[in-house]
Structure 1
Amino acid sequence: MSILIVGGTSGIGLATARRLAATGADVHVASRDAAKVAAIAATDPELVAHRLDGGDGPAVAELGARLAPLDALIVTLAGAEGSGTLAELDLDSLRRAFEAKYWPTLIVLKNALPHLAERASITLVGAVSAHAFLAGVAGIGSLNAAVEGLVRPLAAELAPRRVNAVSPGLVDTPWWNGLSAGEREAWFSAAAEALPVGHVSTADEIAEAVVLAATSTSMTEAVLNVDGGARFARF
C-alpha cells in the first residue's frame, strides 16, 4: 500500500504516518520545511520524506508520478492566521491563511489525481472552527469550512475513489508554538476544564481517526468530528 501524506513531517500528519507505517504500508511524507524533511531520516527511518511545496502544482505532479499508483492521499496543512472578531479581522492575514491551507490543498488534489489508484482514498484535515459557535473564528472558520466543503462533491465526482475529512478540535501540536510555554500550559489547562472529554487531544488521537478515514473501504463523503466536544464547550 503506497501512501502520501502532504504535511506529514509534524503534528497530526506525522502521527498518522507513524500509525500507517506500523501496519506495513509504504508511507511517504512531504513538507516544504527542509529542516523537518531532513529530521525524518533520523527520527523515523521507516518513513520516506520529500521536500514539497503543496502550492507547486508541477512538483506535486512529478512526485505523484514517481509514487504512482497511490493508494491513499492525506492532506493535512495548517493555516494558522485569520482569527479575530469581524471588526478587527485582518483580511490580509486571512488571505495568507487561505494561501497556506486551502489553495495548496486544492492544488495537491488536482495534481495528484492522475496518479491515484482506481480505488484510492483521499483524506483532508479541517478543524472545529468550521462548525463551532464561537466568537472570533469567522475568518479561520470559513477557511476550514472551505476545506471540508470539498468532501461531498469530490466524493461524488471521483467515485469509486473515497473522499473524507477529519475535523479536529484543540490539539497539542506545533500549531500552538506561537504561545510561550507558560501561556500554552495555562490555555490547555483552562480548555481541558471546558471540554466535555476533559483533556486537550494529542496528535495521535486525531491520527487514529485519519487512519480510519483513509483505510475504511466503506467510508466516503464523511467528515469525522474528533473535537472532544469543543463545538459545544464554553471557553
Structure 2
Amino acid sequence: MSKRILVVGGTSGVGLATARRLAAAGNTVHVASRDTTKLTDAPELEAHQADGNDAAAVARLAAGLAPLDTLVVTLSGAEGAGAFAELDLASLRRAFEGKFWPTLTVLQAVLPHLAERASITLVGAISAHAAMPGTAGIGSLNAAVESLVRPLAVELAPRRINAVSPGLVDTPWWNGLAEPDRTAWFASAAKVLPVGRVSTADEIADAVVLAATNPSMTGSILHIDGGARFAHF
C-alpha cells in the first residue's frame, strides 16, 4: 500500500537518496527544505519550501499532507568539528541551531499530523559513538539527536521512531574541501576503515528505508559506519 511520506532536508546526500528510494517503492514522497531548487531533476518527488526552525510553516505543511505515514528528518550542519582546546563554541552553537533544534521543532510540529502507527526516522552520525579526536563538539550534537530515540519510542507508541548513525559518507557535506584534499582524506580514511572504503549516500539510504518501513523496529539506532567506531584515525 502506498504511504504518504515527508522527508525534511531531502534535497541532497542521504536525504535525497532516501526520498528517491521511497518514491521508487510506489510511495507519495514530499520533500521539505529551505532550498528546493536542487530538486529540479527529481520529478518523482513533491517539493515544498520550509525552514525546519519555523514551527508554524512546518505544521501548516504537515497539516496539508495529513495523515502522514512516515517522517524522515535528515538535517545536517557543517560546523562544530575541531580540537576541543580551540573549539569555537559559537560555531558549535550554530551547529545545534542547524540540526538539533530544527529536529525538535519538526518533530513537535509534525506529530499531530502523523497517522496512528506512523514511523519517524532521524539521522545522526557515528561521531556520537566513536572516539575520534576533533569530534567532541559535533559528536555531542549528534548524540543529542540520537538520544531522542529511546524515550520517544515509548512515549509516542504505537508510532515508531529510530535513527541511523552514518560514518564517513561521500556526500555534498564535504564540498567545503577542495577536491584534491577531499580525495586525499577519503583515501586515507579508507585505509583505516575495516570495510576499506568510504560509504555512499545510497548505502546509508538503504538503512534509513529499513528503519522507516520495518514494522517491528523501534527505539533502534543503526550504525552504518564501515566500522569507524573501531578505527583509529
TM-score range, shorter chain: over 0.9
**Which of the residues 199, 220, 223 maps onto 2:221?**
223
* AA in 1 matched with 2:119: S
- Equivalent position of 1:199 in the other structure: 197
* 1:13-162 correspondence runs (5 A): 13-33=15-35, 37-40=36-39, 42-162=40-160
Q: Which runs of 5+ in 1 are unaligned?
A: none
The 8 Å contact of residues 12 and 38 in structure 2, kept in 1 or not, is answered as no
- Equivalent position of 1:4 in the other structure: 6
TM-score where L is the length of structure 2: 0.98
Cα distance in 2, alignment partners of residues 198 and 124 from structure 1: 26
Cα distance in 1, alignment partners of residues 151 and 12 from structure 2: 29
**Which of the residues 166, 186, 189 maps onto 2:187?**
189
* AA in 2 matched with 1:186: A
Cα deviation digits, residues 19-64 of structure 1 (max 9, x gap):
101100000111112xxx1342x31111001111000000010000
Aligned length: 231
Cα deviation digits, residues 151-208 of structure 1 (max 9, x gap):
0011110000000000000000111011001000000111111110111000000000
Cα distance in 1, alignment partners of residues 14 and 37 from structure 2: 18
* AA in 2 matched with 1:166: V
Q: Which runs of 5+ in 2 are unaligned?
A: none
Cα offset, 1:85, TM superposition: 1.7
- Equivalent position of 2:208 in the other structure: 210
Cα offset, 1:212, TM superposition: 0.1
* AA in 1 matched with 2:231: A
Cα offset, 1:135, TM superposition: 1.3
The 8 Å contact of residues 119 and 161 in structure 2, kept in 1 or not, is answered as yes
Q: Which runs of 4+ in 1 moved over 3 A?
A: none
Cα deviation digits, residues 6-25 of structure 1 (max 9, x gap):
00010000000111011000
Cα offset, 1:86, TM superposition: 1.6
SS at match of 1:133: coil
**Which of the residues 145, 167, 170 maps onto 1:169?**
167
SS at match of 2:53: coil
* AA in 1 matched with 2:37: A
SS at match of 2:197: coil
Query: Matched residues, percent identical?
Result: 73
RMSD across aligned positions (CA): 0.7
SS at match of 2:190: helix
* AA in 2 matched with 1:61: A
Of 157-166 and 78-87, deviating more is 78-87
